[in-house]
Structure 1
Amino acid sequence: MIVLSESTEQIESSASASENKLMTETARILGCKVYYIPRDFQRCGTAENALWHIPKSAVETAGIWVGYIPKLERYETIYQAALAKGIRLLNTPLEHQKALEFNLFYPHLKGLTPDSVVINSTDECIEAGELLGFPVFVKGTVQSIKMQGWKFCIANNQKELIKITELLLKFKEHSRGRVIVRKLVKLRHQRLAPNGFPMGREFRCFIYKQQVLKYGYYWDGQNDLSKLSQQEEKQVLNLAILASERLDVPYVAIDIGQLESGDWIVIETADAQFAGLCQIPALELWNKLKDIY
């Protein structure tokens, strides 16, 4: 297994930077070959230049990209440049996009996840609100802005929906020009995050070719909701596997949450190369990953 890592020696305070460093060092300890690549093309100019130092392999080898969610164009060019070196990333550009962008994975997961509407402008807010009813959860096709707090994700009326939609459309990295309006559901929770966001009973599953590698509680800290009974674990993993079968993306992260009613739903999916570990030990995940090929 070859790792393309965006981790740097520079001191960075973000959680993502710390996790990238942890993932990179864990892969190295377990014997994976690690090559560092820049986070953008500002200095090197092209993907080919970014990978110039990587020797071409005579035998095609599986590769994983450890880094920050890239723009689609960047993923496409790095994927092709790596392939020219004999490194095949676990997900093709189309698979990467399908796992990451809500508007692409939602059609595959209808019935497993709350009803949602994809909009491209504030002009479509009225229809979306009327169709789903208020309140609604609002996010970009790639990410929400929940780090800013509950009020940046929940619209109780048309005015609030338009306001959040305008904000998300400005955040291109979150929305890529599309906003997702979702029927608001109530997840089981015992705690609120410092920003007021309910810390629901959610679990992240890392799956490769419909096999669960590892799963873990989504939120930091411990509480009674972070523990699953054998029956609950079976329900969570079966739903995650069903979602992965429908999605048909090789390496995917799938978030599963429990409603107050006790039922389980799919929250969202992601390209697992760029998904946070949550409470999954890096060593345990990489022990599974290094044996894929």
Structure 2
Amino acid sequence: MRMIVLSEDPESIASKIAAVMGISVYSLPKNFSLGAIAATLQPQTNPPQNSFGIWLSAPPSIDRYRAVYDAFLSRNIQLLNRPEQYAIAQQFSNIYSKLSDLAPVKSAQSWAEVRQAADLHYGQADPKGKPLGRSFRVYLYRQTILTYAYFWEVDDPLKWLTVEEEEAIFDMALKAAARLDLLFVAIDIGQQVCDNWTIVGVSDAQFCLLNQTPMISFWGELEKIFSAQMSG
């Protein structure tokens, strides 16, 4: 099965780089109706069949994800996370119970609360004075690291990792991913003032691509995985 991109924002960096790399990108209207799926795919001279699809969008509701997943699946396009897996990613309490020992506090009500409690090391603040805590988003598919990005879209010296720091966040990301029933996941890891690394966020990787994500690495690593599956 090949990989395709189903994008509600064809002008995004992620969509443009995918297209340049030769990955098929299909444009969908924002908040598209299920009928728009057929309208988008049908006119193609080589409509996608038996494909893995990455849906680039704002995070949908659980019910909408299920409906869109089924609509794509009826055309032999399989999104990387099943509906029940997407539901897990959206339900904070279920995820946090599995990761609390890797997080800064044992109990919390949201990732925003976790990040606030983490007391992250920082060098810059936003215009309102909110500290930009040093944190990184690590993208994984089937517990394989694809790439990572600094969380904030700023020119911050703290975005550079030493080899030891990179190994530390990769180790934590893999440890967290192994506990979650999520195939395609993004894990946010921050450095506390005490220098410890801690989990500060988890999400479905389809809906949380940062602009500063190294997209050539992201798409390239995914293509390697799918190519290996096709030849295996």
TM exceeding 0.5: yes
Q: Identify which of structures 1 and 2 has the higher relative contact order when contacts are C-alpha pairs closer than 8 Å and 6+ apart.
A: 2
Superposed, 1:1-293 pairs within 5 Å as 1-7=3-9, 21-41=12-32, 44=33, 47=34, 49-53=35-39, 54-55=41-42, 60-113=50-103, 114-118=105-109, 139=110, 144=112, 184-277=117-210, 279-293=212-226
Q: How many residues get paired? A: 219
Structure 1, unpaired ranges of 5+: 9-17, 119-138, 145-179
Name the structure 2 match of 1:126: none
Asked if the contact 2:136/2:150 (under 8 Å) is kept, the reply is yes
Distance, in Å, in 1 between the alignment partners of 2:114 and 2:159 is: 28
TM-score by length of 1: 0.69
Distance, in Å, in 2 between the alignment partners of 1:39 and 1:23 is: 16
Asked if the contact 2:15/2:25 (under 8 Å) is kept, the reply is yes
Asked if the contact 2:114/2:200 (under 8 Å) is kept, the reply is no
Distance 1:73 1:38, change over 3 A: farther
Distance, in Å, in 1 between the alignment partners of 2:118 and 2:5 is: 38
Distance 1:51 1:108, change over 3 A: same
Distance apart, 1:182 and its partner CA = 7.7
Asked if the contact 1:235/1:264 (under 8 Å) is kept, the reply is yes
Structure 2, unpaired ranges of 5+: 227-232
Distance, in Å, in 1 between the alignment partners of 2:92 and 2:14 is: 26
Asked if the contact 2:13/2:211 (under 8 Å) is kept, the reply is no
Distance apart, 1:195 and its partner CA = 2.2
Distance 1:248 1:291, change over 3 A: same
- 278-287 vs 88-97, which deviates more? 278-287
The one-letter code of the counterpart of 1:6 is E
Distance, in Å, in 1 between the alignment partners of 2:166 and 2:115 is: 26
Distance apart, 1:99 and its partner CA = 2.0
What is the aligned-residue RMSD (CA, Å)? 2.2
Distance 1:104 1:50, change over 3 A: farther
Distance 1:269 1:58, change over 3 A: closer
Distance, in Å, in 2 between the alignment partners of 1:273 and 1:29 is: 19
Report % sequence identity: 35
TM-score by length of 2: 0.86
Runs of 4+ in 1 over 3 A off after TM superposition: 55-59, 180-183
Question: Could you say which structure has the larger radius of gyration?
Answer: 1
Distance, in Å, in 1 between the alignment partners of 2:115 and 2:94 is: 15
Asked if the contact 1:116/1:182 (under 8 Å) is kept, the reply is no
